[in-house]
Each structure stands twice: as C-alpha cells, then as structure tokens.
Structure 1
Amino acid sequence: MEINTAGELCFPHLNDSCRRPSAHSRSQAAIVYTLLYLTALLTTVLNLLVIIAISHFRQLHSPTNFILLSLAVSDFFVGILVIPVESHMSRTCWVLGDIMCVVYYVVPVTLVSASVGNMVLISVDRYVAICDPMHYQTRITVKVIGISVAVCWLGSLLYTFCLMYENLVEPGRDTSCRGECVITVSGEADLVIVFIIPVTVIIVLYLRVFVVAVSQARAMRSHIHNQQSVVSVTARKSEINAARNLGVVVVVFLICYSPYYCVSLTGGNLLIGSPTEMLMSFWMYFNSTLNPVIYALFYPWFRKAMKLILTLKIFKPGSCDAQIL
C-alpha cells in the first residue's frame, strides 16, 4: 500500500498507522477503478453464463466441457470476489487485521493455481484426442475428468497453504504499518511450480498436437474424395477445430500470466499486495474475462446456449435436452 503523507491516518490513535491515499489521488484513479469494477461485473456475468450452459444442457456434458466448467468456476470467483476486493484494497486501508489479510490471499492464490491446473488438463485432453484418438473414449471419461478436476482443486489449496505457511504462523510479519495488507511468499517456488513446470507441459503437449493435427489435415484433404470416409473425416476435423480453439485459450492464458511471473525473475521473494504485484495481478485476472469472450467467438454452442439463457427459455420443460451442438 502506498503511504501518502498528505492523507489521513488509517488509525489516528496508533503511532504506527498507515496513511490513507489523498483525495487528489483518488480522483485521478476514478476512471481506472470504474473500469476495474466493470471488468469484474463482465467477468462474473460471462462466466456465470458458461457455468449455467454446461451444467444445464445435456449435450454439453462432455469431458472437455467439464474442464471448461471448472475453469469457468475459478474465473467466476475471480470476477465476483478477487477483482472487486483487490480494487478496493488498492485505495483504502486494510481494517480486518493481519490474520484475515493472510486468509484473504488464500483465495486468489488458490484460484490462480487451479486455473493453471485446468489449463494443463485441457492440454492433456486435446493431446489424447488428437494423438491417440482410438483410446480417447476409454481413457478420457467423465469420471476420470471429475477425479482430475477434484485433484486439481485440492492440490491448489494444499499448495497455497504450503506457500503461505510462514505467513499463517506469523501474520503481519511483512507489514510496515497498521492498515497495510501485504505478505511475502517465495517467488522462485511459485515461479517454478505454478508457471515453469505447467507451461512447459502445456507447450510440449500442444507442439505435439500441432504436428499431428497438421499431418491429419493433410491426410483428410487427400482422402476427402472417398465418400466412405466422409464421416470419419468430419469427426477428425471437429477434433482439430476443438484443439485449435482451446489452443487460443492457452495462448491467451500465457499472454496474461507471463508478465506476473516475469516479476518473480527479478528477485527471490514476491511481496503480495505491493503496487507492482497488484498491477501484474490485475492483468493476470483479465484472463478470466477473456476466456468466455473466446468461447463466444469460437464456440457456436456457447452463443446458442447464451441466447436460450438470456431469453429464459431454459426454464421451459425439457430445455436441458435442447439441440446445442
């Protein structure tokens, strides 16, 4: 938190109190905070539409879409909880105490870790679908994906507690004054576990998917004249298009997450809650807004489902069996 000598004390009766941001600085930042709150609203609404669509329509109950559902859940909480709270924290004093400061940061760190895990699951799903299509139906089932998603979320929560253990044991050890909410975590550990290892896995899998998809596309073009192979060619084309679309999701994820973790390369520890960290965090959280926008651009089923949801047709009997795909 920025300490402004022109501002009022957060706790006037305490000598070690932080100072509130001045009114002048708040007026200059009004447009920025308005945009942040509008982004939070858009993120919440769009991801809620994804959650409702995949949960409601039976045609969308596929292993791949259940991974997208898990991703949408994490993005939804980023929009409804993380962005508004961190926007408020960046311009006001923290009044809930040191323990609640640490507890709060458990939420965004867990959500970020879960999002990364979901991206890895998406890459694995597309890898098996494109590179081993004969065994996709038996290896990637709804049960397997359900277990994988559960492990992803539980692992993210466990990782967060390990990362923040010292802060949980000794809350407030990094604050310089009362009214500040910052904690220090190992930037190197976070960089390796949540970024370098998962991103390496994602890139390796998608490079393999890209090579196989290109070779299959060439094969389809050479055999398209054979009428007996039209059905299989159409199925393979659908899988390749799905891989391409999810590849866009992964690329946008890398663009949004890379700046934050590049900050970790400049030093050992990362001061969560500092101005630089917050700026990088907001750019990272913007990925949660872009994901459903990508669905709207590349997935016809999302546009159809969104239309049915917004027109309240999902409340009609039998709407869950509507033709979406």
Structure 2
Amino acid sequence: MMETLEGGELCFPQLLNTSCRKPTRPHSEAMFLYILLSSTSLLTVSLNLLVIISISHYRQLHTPTNLLLLSLAVSDLLVGFVLLGQILLIGACWFLGDLMCILYYFVVFMTISASVGNMVLISVDRYVAICDPLCYPTKITQRRVKFSVTLCWVCSAFYNCLMLKDLLKQPDRYNSCYGECVVVANHIAGAVDLVVTFIAPITVIIVLYMRVFVVAVSQVRAMRSHIVAVTLQHSVTVTAKKSERKAARTLGIVIVVFLMCFCPYYYPSLAGQDTSSSASYLTFGAWLLVFNSCLNPVIYAFFYPWFRKAIKLTVTLHILQPDSCEANIL
C-alpha cells in the first residue's frame, strides 16, 4: 500500500529512480491557479483576436499605425496561448519531453520580446506623428512599417536563440529528474536580458512619450494664445485642459502598467541573482507579463472609437455580410 502511494506521487511511476515527485499543494491553491491561468489566457486570446480580426478585415484600418497594433496583437495572442503551458507546470510535471520544454520557453521569451519591441515601434510611430506631422506620410510608410515589424520578430527570435543556445543543445541541462522543466539564467545572462528587454525599451518609451507630451501641450498652448474672443478662449481652454489631462493619463497608464508587469519578473536580475523558471515568485512574474499582454489591447486599442465599432460589427456577425470589409469604421 505504501509503495502504491509513493508511486502515485511520482510524475512517471514507471521510472522509480529518475522520475520527479509531485509537490504537495493544497487542492484549493491548485484550483485557484488553474482558474487564474485559464481565465487570463482566455481573456488575452479573445481580446487580441478581436484586434486582429478588426484590423485585418476592414480596409479602412489598413494604416501603418494599425499594422503595428496588429503585430502587437499577434505577439500578445501567442503569449496568451503559451500561458496554457503554465497549467502543465502547476503540478510540477512536464509530460512533453525535454526538447519541447526548451522550445516552449523559447516561444515564451520570443513572443514577450516581440511584444516589447512592438511597443517601442508604436512609441516611435506616435512620436513622429505628433512631433513631425508634415513628414509623417513620407517617413512612416506601409513598406517601412512591414520591414520594421519583420525585423522586430527576426531579432527577437535570433536574440532568444543566443540566450538559450546551450539549452537547445542540451535540453536537460538543469533538470534534476525526469518530468522537470527548468530554465536557469545566470546573473550575467540575466543582466544582458535586463538591459535588452527592460531597461533599453522602457527608456526609449519614456523619452519618446515625454517628448510627445511636451509637444502636445505646447501645441495646445500655442492654439490657445491665438484666441481673442473670450467665449472661444474659454472653450479652447477647457478643451486644452482636457487634452493635457488625457495625454498625461495615457502616458501614465503606458509607463506604470509596463513597470508593474515587468519589474517583478526582472527582480532577480536587478538584484544580481541567478534566475530559475522553477522559482515560485517567477510564476507570479510570468503571469504579470502575460497579464500585460492582456492589457495591451485595452491600452492601445480600446481607446480608439473605431475599435469599439469594429467589435460591435463583429459580435453582431455583420462581418459575414458581403462587402463588409468596405464598411465605414472611422
């Protein structure tokens, strides 16, 4: 009887000497994690799928800026899908083999890197649109945006190949038993990853958005100074204050959400420690990264009126009607 119970605690009971043991986890805690990960994954996939359908289907939305939003939605959609792999890791048993374990983490890291890269590209797009609007049509073209998006994905894949090259050669490098899926990054690799996927992108985003905010406020004040009539001046003043608050709020949302979702994940690197995918705090940090992918459609798309209209047309199945792609969305 004791042998049966002992064998039941193994990930692979037939491998008594090499199999990992399942950790003792309260049933309520396991159910909470299952519900949390499943609901977050479903919400992330659903929201980003709506963005992809809307931009891909309606021709009015085929603009350079929306191509960047489309690329961001694709990366966030993949992040939502790979979150399902975390459900397999709740029981600390990986049943898909060592190679699939490394490939899984490769896809996770690549999609997160691509998502961050797309955020930077969107920041550049908005910077040019606000700070140099006359040259925007010539600087930001469909061809250049497609090239930038492709380069972003290629660089993300290449960068993560370099980061995981040793593990790709020896997938079970850090596994202590069969059924374990562990990726460990030493403090040097963690520091490099910290700079490439956190410090550098957030610095670019903050600098560009601060510049956009300053230019937007200066433009509003310039328009206000040219108003002579008191009634018109009052109207413009109210509008200007609303524009300033909206610009500040949008800037704050972008930066605060990004920092809140990425800081816990990169805490070991910030502290100069080695990073292991088996650490409990890293599970929470990984969930926050995925939750950021869930929030991206809200931050970057839900603020657009055309997106709300596109959702309504999609949900009401108007999208299935002939020539629905020519619908007036804007």
Name the structure 1 match of 2:209: 206
Name the structure 2 match of 1:293: 298
Q: 1:295–1:302: 8 Å Cα contact kept in structure 2?
A: no
Q: Which amino acid aligns with 2:177?
A: C
| 1:153-192 matches, cutoff 5 A | 153-185=153-185, 186-192=189-195
User: For 1:253-306, what per-residue CA distance to the aligned partner results, in whole angstroms no more than 9, with x for missing partners?
Assistant: 232122211231123431124322221100111011112233564221111000
2:227 and 2:151 mapped to 1: Cα distance?
42
Name the structure 1 match of 2:47: 46
Q: 1:172–1:183: 8 Å Cα contact kept in structure 2?
A: no
Name the structure 2 match of 1:195: 198
2:249 and 2:68 mapped to 1: Cα distance?
16
Q: Name the SS for the 2:194 alignment partner.
A: helix
Q: Name the SS for the 1:298 alignment partner.
A: coil
Q: Which amino acid aligns with 2:35?
A: T
Query: Is the counterpart of residue 63 in structure 1 residue 46 in structure 2?
Result: no
Q: How many residues align?
A: 310
Name the structure 2 match of 1:231: none
| 1:69-148 matches, cutoff 5 A | 69-79=70-80, 81-148=81-148
2:95 and 2:131 mapped to 1: Cα distance?
53
Deviation at 1:142? Answer: 1.1
After superposing the two structures, state which structure 1 stretch, 214-223 or 277-286, moved more: 214-223
TM-score for both structures, normalised by structure 1 = 0.87
Name the structure 2 match of 1:275: 280
1:191 and 1:7 mapped to 2: Cα distance?
40
TM-score for both structures, normalised by structure 2 = 0.86
Q: Name the SS for the 2:179 alignment partner.
A: coil
Q: Which amino acid aligns with 2:160?
A: T
Q: Which amino acid aligns with 2:59?
A: R
Q: Name the SS for the 1:31 alignment partner.
A: helix
Q: Which amino acid aligns with 2:161?
A: F
Q: 1:188–1:268: 8 Å Cα contact kept in structure 2?
A: no
User: For 1:232-268, what per-residue CA distance to the aligned partner results, in whole angstroms no more than 9, with x for missing partners?
Assistant: xx9xx99x97897577445422321222112311234
Q: 1:8–1:20: 8 Å Cα contact kept in structure 2?
A: yes
- Find 1:255's aligned residue among 246, 252, 260: 260
Query: Is the counterpart of residue 219 in structure 1 residue 222 in structure 2?
Result: yes
1:197 and 1:206 mapped to 2: Cα distance?
14
User: For 1:101-151, what per-residue CA distance to the aligned partner results, in whole angstroms no more than 9, with x for missing partners?
Assistant: 111111100001001100110111111111111211100111111100000
| Shift in CA distance, 312/246, structure 1 to aligned 2, threshold 3 Å | farther
2:227 and 2:117 mapped to 1: Cα distance?
38
After superposing the two structures, state which structure 1 stretch, 34-43 or 260-269, moved more: 260-269
Query: Structure 1 residue runs of 4+, over 4 Å off?
Result: 224-227, 240-247
Q: 1:102–1:167: 8 Å Cα contact kept in structure 2?
A: yes
Q: Which amino acid aligns with 1:194?
A: T
Q: Name the SS for the 2:266 alignment partner.
A: helix
2:228 and 2:320 mapped to 1: Cα distance?
45
| Shift in CA distance, 206/295, structure 1 to aligned 2, threshold 3 Å | closer
| 1:13-28 matches, cutoff 5 A | 13-22=15-24, 25-28=26-29
Q: Name the SS for the 1:94 alignment partner.
A: coil
Name the structure 1 match of 2:3: none
1:86 and 1:103 mapped to 2: Cα distance?
14
Q: Which amino acid aligns with 1:34?
A: I
Which is higher, the Rg of structure 1 or of structure 2? 2
After superposing the two structures, state which structure 1 stretch, 90-99 or 116-125, moved more: 90-99
Deviation at 1:314? Answer: 1.1
| Shift in CA distance, 143/247, structure 1 to aligned 2, threshold 3 Å | farther
Deviation at 1:187? Answer: 1.0
Q: Which runs of 5+ in 2 are unaligned?
A: 1-5, 233-238
Q: Name the SS for the 1:101 alignment partner.
A: helix
Q: 2:37–2:86: 8 Å Cα contact kept in structure 1?
A: no
Q: Which runs of 5+ in 1 are unaligned?
A: 228-233
2:324 and 2:21 mapped to 1: Cα distance?
55
User: For 1:188-231, what per-residue CA distance to the aligned partner results, in whole angstroms no more than 9, with x for missing partners?
Assistant: 1110111111111111111111111110111122336699xxxx
Deviation at 1:320? Answer: 1.3
Name the structure 2 match of 1:230: none
- Find 1:314's aligned residue among 312, 319, 322: 319
Q: 2:7–2:16: 8 Å Cα contact kept in structure 1?
A: no
| Shift in CA distance, 303/43, structure 1 to aligned 2, threshold 3 Å | same
